[in-house]
Amino acid sequence: MSIDPKDRIILPLDVADIGKAKELVELLSPYVGLFKTGLEFVWSLIADLILLEWEDAVKLLLDARNLAKEIGGPQAFIDAKLCDIPNTVKGASLAISRLGVKFFNVHACAGIETVRAAVASRGNCQVLGVTVLTSISGGTEGECVSIFGSPAGEKVLYFATQLLGAGADGIICSPQELEIIRGCPKLNGLIAVTPGVRPVWAAKGDQKRVMTPAEAVRAGADYLVIGRPITQPPPEIGGPVDAAKKIAEEIATALSEKTA
């Protein structure tokens, strides 16, 4: 895929305050490709809109509309993690598709018919399937076995095959499963989005199955979800812009090595 290195970076707006989200977008829009709005942001916004006094709620709504315009559809990823019966996911997908975002996602474990419902209702958006969360340990003795009955590698491969059959555009998985996915030729057309990416200079946080940006790109990732290493970098790295630039440089180096 011909994508500029910086545009492969997806920054999560994992904040409860729309003012903070706006600051991050204004600061980092030139240095990252997409902004991901997830459950914390969305539900904090909904709660505030319902509970605030009328004038404050109107102001918040206007701020939310302005932020949406500032990000724009091509730079937006709605991390909805839809997981419900097909008809419910169909309705939610139709609503999301009206926003014209680049990506939204659905849990693969909801079943192939639910994924098909999302795909059929995606409009001009692209549907990504969440496989096994990167906060779940994935080995033979790990949490993934207790939840899904298989280690992460086996389960991600199964989910990816199901997602392909349902017409999804891509998958979300740990970078540690990319080798398995990219080793299966029929799955190579799927976009690979990987959370659990941490530069060597950043803390792992609550991620269990991680790689560096360079390792993830070499393994076959198309997009990298990177939050705290950018928004809260170590002092020796500098500020968020410095961190984003450093990560983009690492991605560029890895891409050049792949094509050399």
The catalytic site residues sit at 81
Residue owning tokens 């290493």: 229
The answer to whether the CB of 153 falls within 8 A of the CB of 180 is yes
3-class DSSP assignment, residue 203: coil
The answer to whether the CB of 14 falls within 8 A of the CB of 227 is yes
Q: Which residues contact 177 (CB under 8 A, 6 or more apart)?
A: 131, 132, 138, 152, 153, 156, 157, 209
Nearest to 9 by CA among 218, 241, 226: 226
